């Protein structure tokens, strides 16, 4: 499966550097046969990046949305607004939102469903904590999250699953290729079980301290169909090396 490399800029970048970074990536992507690329800047930069990326193969995504399509929810952003701006994807259930905003599997599923209703693709994030890993429960935790966070509206055209062990995010600690292979194989089995044959077409991304040095090895793992990249996506050259490590077919 063709890889997807998604850059999650998190709460980083002002207008000038966001514009510059997106412009360089769009220019490089325009002249290269590379895998699929998605940029997920903070909401403040979505409009600007939509303009920058127009006509380029680089796609635009948001980092979160509300579960309702509109209403009295001060400070929140609805999925149809993101579609209106030109987004194709929305990340939901990132562990930082689960941790800092009390998001649960049920609220993540409601958000993913809202993303689908808006005609966009949801990137549903899952992953065990260090304590859960140390207790030997990674597989069951991730399986439980998958079953409860992926809504009924999911199919291979509108849903991507990102496995991001919480202990690997922003720490420089990556899961070993063997661990990633085992977790992704289990996730694939569960997706086939939930969605039937269509589960084979759902992209499974790995995330957690992916960088220019480890991307090729991680992206070569079976059932790793791309990466969700945080810190390393803020450096154009490093991000581009990761993009070049992805499969093009």
* Catalytic residue IDs: 94, 164
The CB-nearest residue to ligand PGA is 230
Which residue, 143 or 167, has its beta carbon nearer to ligand PGA?
Answer: 167
Strands 121-126 and 203-207, by their bridges, are unpaired
Kindly state the smallest distance separating residue 68's Cβ from ligand PGA, in Å.
Answer: 25
Sequential DSSP letters for 164-180: --GGGTTTS----HHHH
Of residues 57 and 170, the one with the C-beta less far from ligand PGA: 170
84 token code pair: 């209106």
Nearer to ligand PGA, 119 or 170 (CB): 170
Q: Which of 242, 183, 177 is nearest to 215 (CA)?
A: 242
Nearest CA among 24, 18, 31, 164 for reference residue 91: 164
Burial tier of 46 (Cβ tally within 10 Å: 0-12, 13-18, 19+): buried
The two tokens of residue 61 are 């995504």
Q: Which is nearer to ligand PGA, 165 or 199 (CB)?
A: 165
Question: Nearest-CA neighbor of 157 among 203, 190, 95?
Answer: 203
Q: Which spans of this chain sit near ligand PGA (rule: CB under 6 A)? A: 8, 164, 169-170, 207-210, 228-232
User: Nearest approach, Cβ of 210 to ligand PGA (angstroms)?
Assistant: 5
**Which value, in Å, is the radius of gyration of the alpha carbons in the chain?**
17
């Amino acid at each position: 499966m063709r890889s997807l490399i998604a850059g999650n800029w998190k709460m980083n970048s002002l207008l000038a550097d966001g514009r510059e970074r997106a412009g360089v990536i769009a220019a490089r992507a325009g002249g290269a046969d590379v895998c699929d690329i998605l940029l997920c800047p903070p909401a403040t930069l979505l409009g600007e990046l939509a303009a920058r990326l127009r006509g380029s193969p680089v796609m635009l995504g948001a980092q979160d949305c509300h579960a309702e399509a509109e209403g009295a929810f001060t400070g929140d952003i609805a999925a149809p607004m993101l579609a209106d701006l030109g987004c194709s994807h929305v990340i939901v259930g990132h562990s930082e939102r689960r941790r800092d905003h009390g998001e649960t599997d049920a609220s993540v599923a409601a958000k993913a469903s809202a993303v689908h209703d808006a005609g966009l693709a949801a990137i549903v994030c899952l992953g065990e904590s260090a304590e859960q890993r140390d207790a030997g429960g990674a597989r069951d935790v991730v399986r439980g999250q998958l079953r409860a966070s992926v809504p009924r509206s999911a199919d291979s055209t509108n849903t991507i699953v990102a496995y991001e062990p919480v202990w690997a995010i922003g720490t420089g600690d990556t899961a070993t290729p063997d661990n990633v292979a085992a977790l992704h194989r289990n996730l694939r089995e569960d997706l086939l079980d939930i969605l039937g044959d269509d589960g084979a077409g759902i992209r499974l991304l790995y995330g957690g301290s992916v960088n220019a040095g480890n991307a090729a090895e991680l992206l070569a793992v079976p059932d790793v169909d791309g990466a969700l990249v945080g810190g390393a996506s803020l450096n154009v050259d490093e991000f581009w090396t990761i993009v070049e490590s992805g499969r093009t077919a």
